[in-house]
Amino acid sequence: MSSPVLIVTAVESGFGFLLTSAVLFVVIARGRRAYHYLFSAFLLICVIWDLGIFLSMLRNAHVEELDIIGRIAITPCILIPALIFHFSNLYSGRPIKWAVALVWAATCVSLFLALAGVIYQIEGTYTYRWGSIFRVAPSAADPLVFVFWFGINLWACWLLFKSARRATGTLERRHHYYVLAGFLAVTMAVVKALVTMGVDVSFLLPAGMFLNDVCAMVIGVAIVKERLFDITVIVKKGAMYSVLAGLLIFVYSFSEHLLITYSGKLIGGRSEIADLISIAIGIAILMPLKRRIELGVDRTFRQRTLEF
C-alpha cells in the first residue's frame, strides 16, 4: 500500500507537470525576446523534474528503475542557476556581462563533472519507511553544490529586487515581484534534494514539490492577470468551466481514494461505508462549491470579458 507521502508527492508532481507545461507552452508560443527563451528553458527543466518525481512515485516499488529516472530528472537541474541568473540580468535591463559569463563557465564545468561521475552521481536508492528515492552518492563537493545554488539564485533575486525598486510604473514593479517570488520558491524547493542524500525527513520531498508548484502558479497567474512578459492570454468561459470541473472531479476522486484506502482498511477491505462517506462529502461540500464557482464565473462574464 502506498504511503501518504508517496500519494501527496505524486499528486503534487503530476499537477506541477501539467501546470508548468501549460505555462511553458504559453511563454514559448508568445515570447520572442532572448529572456523568453531563457525562461522557457528553465520551465522545461522544471517540467522534466516534475515528470521524473511523478514517475518515481508511481514506480516506487520498482527500485531498479529509480536511479535511471533520477539521472534523467536531476542532471538538467544543474543548469537552473545559470538560466535564472542570465534571465534576471536581461530582464532587469542592466546585465553584468562578466558575471553572466563566469556563472555559465562554472555551470559548464559542474555539468561536465556531473556527467563524468565526479559530483552528483546517482547510484542506487534510499529506502525509507515512507518509500524509496534515488540516491546521490556522497561527495566532498556536496556543500559547494548548495553554496552555488543559493549564491547564484539569491544574487539573481537581488538583481530583480533592485530592478523593481527602479521601476517607474506600478505594473512593471509587480511583474518583477512576481518573477522574484517564483524564483525564491524554486530556490527554497531544493530542500527536496536532501532526501536523495540520506536525510530521512518525510515532509521534505512533498514540501519541495509544493514550492515548485507555487512558482508555476505565481507565473501563471501573473501571465493571465498582469500580462507578464508582455503576453496576452484570452480565457474563454468554456475553458474555465472545464478546468474548474476537472479540479472538482479530482478533489472528489482523491478524497474517495484516501477514504477507501485508509479508512476502508480499518473497517475491513473495500468497505461500502467508506464509499458512502466519500459520496456524502461530495454532496455536502463539493456540489455547493461547484454552484458557487459557477455563479462567480457567470457574474464575472456579465461584468466584463475575460481578456487580460
DSSP per-residue string spanning the chain: ---HHHHHHHHHHHHHHHHHHHHHHHHHHH--SHHHHHHHHHHHHHHHHHHHHHHHHHTTT-HHHHHHHHHHHHGGGGGHHHHHHHHHHHHHT---HHHHHHHHHHHHHHHHHHHTTSSS-EEEEEE-SS-EEEEEPP-TTHHHHHHHHHHHHHHHHHHHHHHHHH-SSHHHHHHHHHHHHHHHHHHHGGGGGGGGGT---TTHHHHHHHHHHHHHHHHHHHHHHH-GGG---BPPHHHHHHHHHHHHHHHHHHHHHHIIIIIHHHHSSS-HHHHHHHHHHIIIIIHHHHHHHHHHHHHHHHH---B-
C-alpha–C-alpha distance, residues 76 and 79, integer Å: 6
Measured CA angle at 214 (ends 211, 220), to 5 deg: 150
Q: φ, ψ for residue 121 (rounded to 5)?
A: -85, 125
| Helix pair 80-92, 142-166: axis angle to 10 deg | 20
Reply yes or no on whether the pLDDT at 287 is more than 70. no
Domains present along the chain, CATH in parentheses = 4-230 (1.20.1070.10), 237-303 (no CATH)
Q: Which of 12-16, 23-27, 55-59, 157-161 has the highest mean pLDDT?
A: 157-161
Mean pLDDT across the stretch 111-136? 87
The pLDDT tens digits for 162-193 are 999 998 889 899 999 999 999 999 999 999 98
C-alpha–C-alpha distance, residues 248 and 254, integer Å: 10
Query: At which residue does the C-alpha cell 529506502 appear?
Result: 127
Query: At which residue does the C-alpha cell 508582455 appear?
Result: 230
Measured in residues, the chain has a length of 308
C-alpha–C-alpha distance, residues 207 and 205, integer Å: 5
Measured CA angle at 102 (ends 229, 78), to 5 deg: 65
C-alpha–C-alpha distance, residues 69 and 54, integer Å: 10
The pLDDT tens digits for 53-79 are 999 998 898 888 898 998 888 899 999
Q: Of 140-144, 153-157, 255-259, 286-290, which range is least confident?
A: 255-259
| pLDDT reported for residue 141 | 76
As a whole-number percent, the residues of the chain with pLDDT over 70 amount to: 74
Reply yes or no on whether the pLDDT at 102 is more than 90. yes
C-alpha–C-alpha distance, residues 213 and 300, integer Å: 26
Reply yes or no on whether the pLDDT at 308 is more than 50. no
